[in-house]
Amino acid sequence: MSESAPASIPAPEMPSAVRLIATLGLIALISGFTIVLVYQATLEPIAQNHRDALERAVLRVLPGATQQANFRWADGSLTRLADDDIGGANLFAGFDATGQLVGIALEAAARGYAGEVRILYGYAPDREVIIGYTVLQSSETPGLGDKIETDRRFLANFDALDVALADDGESLRNPVRLVPQGTKQEPWEIDGITGATVSCRAVERALLESLRTHLPPLRPHLLTLDEPAGGDPS
């Protein structure tokens, strides 16, 4: 008995180029639409988290403050913003429970070892000192550069860092400067961190640039910031 010839299997029909393009286009459309939906759904929560974190940071660098006011400082003018407009502000005033000004908070930034270092610092006009400091953004080396965020001895530099203006009101009497760890002798010096000099230098540069740019023209306006609400401070 002879074997029968195997039945031939028809070749699968190849999809047309038009169908392939249409399928890929549909997948891309669905993916893009999903990404947009996720982005829109998370945009406001992310923005709110940022506002909440910034508000906490302001109160952290202004010890004794229990409430704050938001301002826009630009072109020599200080404009009061709404209490919920923290995202549009670049200057924050902190007040104690009696409504007295504790100080103002400003952002500053400079290039560090691994990227930009953004900080927020608090300034007390009546004493002409920095009274608080925190890192808002940093990509510095874990275990070394990131000590600018956690090292208690380094953070203590900013409990009362002297940033008084000279008699002419146009410059710092004693420019802030970084010194090697353990050698600080003057109230305007920053006691550094061994092994994290580049990151500490970034903090020094950020502070100096911000203080020199903003403090002389801003200081006259600060004398009017004595109420936590209402009024035009400009």
Give the tens place of pLDDT for each residue, 52-92.
778 889 999 999 999 999 999 998 889 999 888 888 899 99
- Residue 191: is its pLDDT beyond 90? yes
Looking at the DSSP assignment, which residues form a beta bridge with residue 91?
71, 106
Count CB neighbours of 225 within 10 A. Answer: 21
pLDDT of residue 10: 64
Compute the mean pLDDT over every residue in the chain, rounded to the nearest whole number.
85
Spatial contact of 154 and 147, defined as CB atoms under 8 Å apart: yes
pLDDT of residue 93: 95
Give the tens place of pLDDT for each residue, 89-143.
999 999 999 989 999 999 999 999 888 999 999 999 999 999 999 999 888 777 7
> CA geometry: angle at 79 spanning 77 and 64, to 5°?
110
Per-residue buried b or exposed e for 129-153, using 16+ beta carbons within 10 Å of the residue's own CB:
bbbbbbbbebebbeebbbbbbebee
Is the pLDDT higher at 79 or at 1? 79
